[in-house]
Structure 1
Amino acid sequence: MGIALFTLGGTISVSGGADRLSGADLTAAVPGLAELGTTLEVQDVEAVPSANLTVARMLDVVDAASKAISGGATGIVVTQGSDTLEETAFVVDQVWPHAQPFVLTGAMRNPSLAGADGPANLLAAARVAYSPAARDLGALVVFNDEIHAARWVRKTHSTSTATFASPNAGPIGHVVEGQVRILTRPARQDGVPGRAEPADLDATRVALYTVTLDDDGLLLEGLADTHQGLVVAAYGGGHVPSALAPVLGALAERIPVVLTSRTGAGSILRTTYRSVGSETDLLGRGLIDGGFLDPYKARVLLRLLLATGEGTDEITAAFAQHH
């Protein structure tokens, strides 16, 4: 069957004005695809800004991709907008059960601009999806001839074509002279068990709270009455103003509260600092260690776990894989 290509819109498909390119238009504009040695079976899912994508929509794409694999596809490529790609890739990574590569890509410059990067990114993504070397790596993001694991990749710049990076690990591979070169093979992690249904996702609200200077915590009041979980993007290695510590501790008695760092790289500490509001204090109050996960991915994971009915012990174990 070849590679199954699913298009979801985004900059890569914007031809200028309000016009959108179909998957057939996209592939026709990519030199080198004909020499790939396989075919691309295109499915135009929908053309929307990635800000309008949802977890439920991505789970539908995963279901369609799984059917394509059952039908003989050697790999999956998804094109979408770059704004939410780091989160959608992580959603896929948590539920993708197959050895075949699931590759997400897009563009930073639309096809009407000089130096449009979409064709090169799509060709590189197709090469990765077709490569035996990329099997058993879960969901991957391919941009700028770099291959990133979904669990680590971040969008780090608002306009640069080199926006995607993995601050904690670097790319796990590159596409060089048309060849896929995998430099390191991170072990696949246990994903989220079960399938989160749309109604369960709609009923599962997880807040993301970023701690800021002179923070009074007013926005946290009543949160346990409206949300089923909370992710805290704390200072540095997991620190908050001392006045917030008892507030977060009280919330953790009612709903899962995951502690992450707002810095964009590095993990939560565990035992370095011991003052009120430090990582040691917060973890002692029942907050869950988010490890190396950034706040955005931690929110994705916590919501999926809650929507599939996982309890506190299972949630803690799932986050422990990211320590």
Structure 2
Amino acid sequence: MTLPRVLIITTGGTIAMTPNADGGISPSLTGEELIRVVPELELIAAPLVQTYSNKPGASLSLTDLAAIAALIEVGFTQGCSGAVVIQGTDTIEETAFALELLVRSPRPVVVTGAMRGAQAPGADGAANILAAVTVAASDGAKSLGALIVMGDQIHAARYVQKAHTAQPSAFSSPICGPLGGLVEGQLRWFARIEKLPALALPKPAETAIALLTIALGDDGRLLPTLPALGYQGVVIAAMGAGHVPAHIAPLIGDLCAHMPVVLSTRVVAGPVLSASYAFPGSETDLIGRGAIPGGALGALKACMLLRLLLAGGVPASELPAEFALRSQGRLPDG
């Protein structure tokens, strides 16, 4: 039997970290070294391993993501059935969402990592790699968009969040739960979604997007400074369903005249509303002043989408429609 060919791209992260002389851990293991400790891979796939980088997830850039997406597309043209990206978990919910938007092929793209270093007791890296490759090699994972596989759970990139700083069970999808999981090495699917429409690969230059979280007592003094600081857009992580103190609303309206302003929420789950509240500083007030509703993406993913849209040259007039197309948070069975 011919095994499916799976491209494995490694970028570093906790999964590749080993202790330094001072006792702390940092990335050191190559892709080949990572898969060497997972001999079971030979039973489920023919791996093609590429070590892209060896750095923490927090240091990945938009340029890196565009390059990784291009490598994945090349791998698919060369006959790979799926792709696995191994990285640090700090940014995995953002990078996986970006890969869903940048990879045009419906073939599976799976992102994984580890919460414990390679030499730590109970290291979870090998198990996560095996599970991720199992998913990437499966026909059932096609056309679902990018997936995150951690702890034998399969999450949709657009819904997943890192919910704990240290536990191996750190990832959850508050809106809909996992799409599936692995039981005794076998895939079990609970729900299916459709891949989001892809975007053009961004230009090499990074796009500066600010993320401002509104807290009780915030006076909004940072908002007028953003244009002079060189930002090209901003995401507002507002209170509740998309609300800010009344005195901040005019500042946001003024800012909308200078750059795209996306209205998101600081709440863990649930969408920004668009037509429920009508007080000064409410979502209808802010949208009326020019803010773009961020839907159900959450602030981090809204930042990524805005960054990719602007880097791809999408005109400001088209941004509301592009956000509406990719941020409505339709439930898997909806």
Residue pair 2:72, 2:103 contacting (<8 A) in 1 also: no
C-alpha offsets along residues 157-209 of structure 1, whole Å, 9 cap, x if unaligned? 000111111111111111112112222111222222x221113x3xx311111
Indicate the residue corresponding to 2:201 in structure 1. 195
In structure 2, the residue corresponding to 1:243 is in which secondary structure? helix
Q: Pick the aligned partner of 2:159 from 152, 160, 163.
A: 152
Residue pair 1:133, 1:181 contacting (<8 A) in 2 also: no
TM-score in terms of structure 1 length? 0.95
In structure 1, the residue corresponding to 2:187 is in which secondary structure? strand
Indicate the residue corresponding to 2:218 in structure 1. 215
C-alpha offsets along residues 59-92 of structure 1, whole Å, 9 cap, x if unaligned? 1011111111100011101111000111111110
Question: Which amino acid in structure 2 is aligned with residue 13 of structure 1?
Answer: A
Q: CA deviation at 1:272?
A: 2.0
Q: CA deviation at 1:118?
A: 0.5
**Alpha carbon RMSD of aligned pairs, Å?**
1.3
Mapping of 1:1-323 within 5 angstroms? 2-17=5-20, 20-36=28-44, 38-192=45-199, 194-199=200-205, 201=206, 204-225=207-228, 226-321=230-325, 322-323=327-328
1:110 and 1:3 map into 2 onto residues whose CA distance is 24
- Equivalenced residue count is 318
Question: Which amino acid in structure 2 is aligned with residue 85 of structure 1?
Answer: I
Structure 1: runs of 5+ lacking an equivalent: none
Q: CA deviation at 1:265?
A: 0.8
Residue pair 2:224, 2:255 contacting (<8 A) in 1 also: no
Structure 2: runs of 5+ lacking an equivalent: 21-25, 329-334
TM-score in terms of structure 2 length? 0.92
The runs of 4+ residues in structure 1 deviating greater than 3 Å are none
1:49 and 1:188 map into 2 onto residues whose CA distance is 28
Question: Which amino acid in structure 2 is aligned with residue 292 of structure 1?
Answer: A
What's the % identity of the aligned pairs?
Answer: 43
2:224 and 2:253 map into 1 onto residues whose CA distance is 13
In structure 2, the residue corresponding to 1:73 is in which secondary structure? coil
Residue pair 2:13, 2:27 contacting (<8 A) in 1 also: no
Question: Which amino acid in structure 1 is aligned with residue 144 of structure 2?
Answer: L
C-alpha offsets along residues 26-48 of structure 1, whole Å, 9 cap, x if unaligned? 11212522221x21111111100
